Structure 1
Amino acid sequence: MKAIIMAGGEGSRLRPLTCDCPKPMVRFLDKPILEYALLHLKAHGVTDVGITLGYLPDRIKDAFGDGESLGISLRYYTERQPLGTAGGVKQAQDMLTETFCVLSGDGITDIDLSQALAWHKERGALATLVLKHVENPLEYGVVVAGTDGRVRSFHEKPDWGEVLSDTVNTGIYILEPEILSHIPDGRAYDFGRELFPRLVEKGEAIFALAMDGYWCDIGDTGAYLRAHCDALDGKIRLPLPARTGGVFRAKSARVDRSAILEAPCFIGENAVIGAGARIGPYSVIGADAQVGARVSVKRSVLWQGACAQEGSQLRACVLVNGACMRPESSAFEESVLGENSVLGARSTLLPGVKIWPGKQIGEGERVAANVVWGTGHSASFESGALLLSSPAQAVFAAQAIAAQRGARELLLSRSGGANASAYARAVCAGLMAQGIQVLDADICTLPQLRHTLSSIGADGALWIADNRLYALDAEGAALDKAAQRAIATLLARGDYTAPFSGITHPVISLGRTDLYYTGHLAPRPIVCECALAVFAQTEPLMSIAE
């Protein structure tokens, strides 16, 4: 039997793990996921393998070459345009002259392929789909088969009301070469959604076999971490280094005598574990990774060359190649620090937060949202204005200002333009989330805003011009340096006090504040001094401006 591995996916749900790495090359117990698929095929006597490529194909070619290092023969088929699962496999028809197996290169499995092949041959099938029983089939393609194994129907990602079986398509197929004639050339075509349903309708011999064994589609960060736990628990038959008391430890790893390793865990080649560090159960420390003194690691995965400096805390997080956590920093459940990114000292990644590659997070920050663009630094004050990088950041800035000022009622206004409008809406949302009564003065100038503030007696005011946020106290004065620093600190840490009330107040529109302002100014005495003469007259200000 020959084999084709589908390895062209981008793995968008796994980003930032896959920002600069094809999904099949994501590290799993210190090896690319794809390597386990190749070794699994070899264990079942399959050594002639083709790989379909799409996203970042050279990364895979450079890693495995012709396959000689693994004792197999590899050929590559690169898609110039997306061809789908079936369309991609048809590219390899020159090598597929006998029964062949199709595997996904971005999943982990130890399913018995030899048993599947024998079952396939016994039934004279054109195609055999390997199925797996799962508790929640909603995210998979459900396959319904009769007692004889012949496929009756397919249901792609059904609702609970449409679930007719708990057996789902694993993406592992045993196929005869004749099936390739049913796949159109040069266009996207899918096995599960198009080819197999069509062949079932035509009455072809399409069978399905539900099998024991482990299978995991690593679709997101949570599944990625759970698969590591399963592997360390021995639920997957994988070629792993020898372990002592449940600890997989490479001979070249350097572990301080005072460090504690709690089984099951994995310590890779040349990894360094510092004094007093504690590596908790289900943790993976990759090759060349460094864990500093007094670091606590629980259920986390560190890729090659990642670094957790002294006193840092890791909880069910992932550090990609070269990522670094500075001293006393923390990363929590399913957070990811991207390749070569740095989490500053005493900073915190909240659960689920993802930092894209090459980002720098400052010291003492509390990161509550993904950092995809920019440097990751918090907003700062400049000439009395808080400079904002995005409307999303404006929401948090408004919460920080409301919390620092202890306000109940704030006036909100903006300059003209689409940017100011977008930022003002975001600021309004942040204020409302903090329980603030927002008084909306819409578009006006700063002098108009100050006059309105003095007239209605609110606790302060905010004015937005483009991406600059100006905060005024109850007297209409700009906030002093101490208040600005306090707001910047709150924004960096995300450490806002709870709203004073559980009620979200509706926004109150103040109408035409410009009319109130011009009415306040007129009439005004105007004095013009011209050389030795003095001219005085009472005129409305607007007529002079005209």
Structure 2
Amino acid sequence: MRAMILAAGRGERLRPLTDTLPKPMVPVLGKPLIVYHIEKLAALGIVDIVINHAWLGHKLVEALGDGSHLGVRIQYSAEEHALETGGGIKQALPLLCEGGSNEPFLVINGDVFIDALPPITPLAKDMLAHLWLVPNPQQHPQGDFALSGNQVHEHGDTKYTFSGMGIYHPAFFNDSSAGAFALAPLLKACMAEGRVTGALFDGLWCDVGTIPRLQALELTLQTNMSI
């Protein structure tokens, strides 16, 4: 399985750190966020990785190179202007499906921190996507999607927050056009057809979107290391 790390966002709320760094290069305890992801993917044997970039993208390329020093093979999907999540993945499909592959691929937001990757299993028959959801963080109490068994729905009594981790079949993007577009409308359309599965992620997860959240994450990690 190939993987894609989404790394094109500007990171306005992480300024001034992101005035000179792309958001996924922001360090957590001295190591860039994106390197944590790459190391976890490599440990699972997922070594073909695509990274999209826009804001200060050259710094990602300079720091990570071809990935060989991290035990992976990195290819880059450069965006002149950020294409949002859906458009970024759509543009990267030729790399994710290189050699005519029609296999599903894993996508991870570059600005989240996780202590471990969830169990990676093939998509169920006729499914187009599998999402990992998390309990709603303080900054997003309303959640995104509901979970009934292993099916994800747009509506439901209890909603969870999308973690930014998912597996997608290339066909998920068949009806989308090139250019910038959000992922959520596609997901909701596929949910209405019953073609999106999901699971709760029970590990440590943090959307590192602000300086206070970054500081709280580092404090949590330092506390856990001292136990």
Q: TM-score, normalised by structure 1?
A: 0.39
Q: In structure 2, which of residues 178, 190, 193 is the aligned counterpart of residue 199 of structure 1?
A: 190
Cα contact 1:126–1:204 (8 A) shared by 2: no
Q: Distance in 1 between matches of 2:62 and 2:74?
A: 12
Cα contact 1:52–1:79 (8 A) shared by 2: yes
Q: Give the corresponding residue for 2:83.
A: 83
Offset at residue 140 of structure 1 (A): 6.7
Deviations 1:191-228 (A, max 9, x none): 12x21012223x15111211211110011111001110
Q: Give the corresponding residue for 1:112.
A: 117
Offset at residue 43 of structure 1 (A): 1.6
Residues 337-348 of structure 1 correspond to what in structure 2 (within 5 A)? none
Q: Distance in 2 between matches of 1:136 and 1:164?
A: 18
Q: In structure 1, which of residues 87, 99, 102 is the aligned counterpart of residue 104 of structure 2?
A: 99
Deviations 1:360-380 (A, max 9, x none): xxxxxxxxxxxxxxxxxxxxx
Q: Distance in 1 between matches of 2:219 and 2:196?
A: 35
1:190 aligns to 2:182 (yes or no): yes
For 2:115, the aligned partner's letter is D
Cα contact 1:189–1:195 (8 A) shared by 2: no
Residues 299-448 of structure 1 correspond to what in structure 2 (within 5 A)? none
Residues 147-166 of structure 1 correspond to what in structure 2 (within 5 A)? 147=149, 149-153=150-154, 164-166=157-159
1:219 aligns to 2:209 (yes or no): yes
Offset at residue 166 of structure 1 (A): 4.6
Deviations 1:423-469 (A, max 9, x none): xxxxxxxxxxxxxxxxxxxxxxxxxxxxxxxxxxxxxxxxxxxxxxx
Residues 26-175 of structure 1 correspond to what in structure 2 (within 5 A)? 26-96=26-96, 97=101, 98-113=103-118, 115=119, 117-118=120-121, 120-122=122-124, 124-134=126-136, 136=138, 138=140, 141-147=143-149, 149-153=150-154, 164-175=157-168
Judging changes above 3 Å, is the alpha-carbon distance between structure 1 residues 32 and 48 closer, same or farther for their aligned structure 2 residues?
A: same
Offset at residue 188 of structure 1 (A): 1.4
Deviations 1:280-334 (A, max 9, x none): xxxxxxxxxxxxxxxxxxxxxxxxxxxxxxxxxxxxxxxxxxxxxxxxxxxxxxx
For 1:225, the aligned partner's letter is Q
Cα contact 2:147–2:159 (8 A) shared by 1: no
Offset at residue 180 of structure 1 (A): 2.4
Offset at residue 233 of structure 1 (A): 2.5
Give the number of equivalent residue pairs: 222
Cα contact 2:86–2:182 (8 A) shared by 1: yes
Q: Distance in 2 between matches of 1:5 and 1:135?
A: 22
Deviations 1:469-522 (A, max 9, x none): xxxxxxxxxxxxxxxxxxxxxxxxxxxxxxxxxxxxxxxxxxxxxxxxxxxxxx
1:210 aligns to 2:208 (yes or no): no
Query: 1:169 is paired with a residue of what secondary structure?
Result: strand
Cα contact 2:9–2:82 (8 A) shared by 1: no
Structure 1 gap ranges (5+): 155-162, 236-245, 247-263, 265-546
Q: Distance in 2 between matches of 1:196 and 1:122?
A: 16
Structure 2 gap ranges (5+): none
Cα contact 1:130–1:209 (8 A) shared by 2: yes
Query: 2:38 is paired with a residue of what secondary structure?
Result: helix
Query: 1:225 is paired with a residue of what secondary structure?
Result: helix
Question: What is the RMSD of the two structures over their aligned residues, measured on CA atoms?
Answer: 2.0
Q: Give the corresponding residue for 1:5.
A: 5
Residues 447-466 of structure 1 correspond to what in structure 2 (within 5 A)? none
Q: Distance in 1 between matches of 2:12 and 2:104?
A: 32
Identity across aligned pairs (percent)? 30
Cα contact 2:112–2:205 (8 A) shared by 1: yes
Q: Which has the higher contact order (CA 8 A, sep 6+)?
A: 2
Cα contact 1:4–1:51 (8 A) shared by 2: yes
Q: TM-score, normalised by structure 2?
A: 0.90
Q: Distance in 1 between matches of 2:209 and 2:141?
A: 10
Q: Distance in 1 between matches of 2:13 and 2:32?
A: 17
Judging changes above 3 Å, is the alpha-carbon distance between structure 1 residues 125 and 75 closer, same or farther for their aligned structure 2 residues?
A: same
Q: Distance in 2 between matches of 1:213 and 1:172?
A: 13
Residue range with higher mean Cα deviation, 130-139 or 66-75: 130-139
For 2:147, the aligned partner's letter is A
For 1:100, the aligned partner's letter is F
For 1:13, the aligned partner's letter is R
